[in-house]
Amino acid sequence: MSWQIFVAAIGLLFVFEGVMPFLSPRAYKRIMAQMVIQNNRALRVMGLVSMLIGLAIVYGARIFFK
């Protein structure tokens, strides 16, 4: 994998992470407050699901754009 692609992917991650707090800080605070009260298992499951969706997108993009 090229370092250029990796760095671009990290940059894109930061862009996507910043969209919600930029567009609606009040909703973002409400969501973060809900995350704080979740138990560790629920957060781990959400993290796992997020990673699996991300892997599926990357895999699909590699196949589709080949």
pLDDT tier for residue 14 given thresholds of 50, 70 and 90: very high
- Residue 63's Cβ-side half-sphere holds a number of Cα atoms within 13 Å equal to 6
The pLDDT value recorded for residue 64 is 86
pLDDT tens readout for residues 23-36: 999 999 999 999 99
pTM: 0.72
Question: Which of these, 11, 4, 18, 6, lies nearest to 58 by C-alpha position?
Answer: 6
Domain ranges of the chain: 3-64
**Location of structure tokens 């997020």:** 50
- Whether 1 has a pLDDT exceeding 70, the answer reads no
What is the pLDDT at residue 2?
83
Mean model confidence pLDDT for the chain:
92
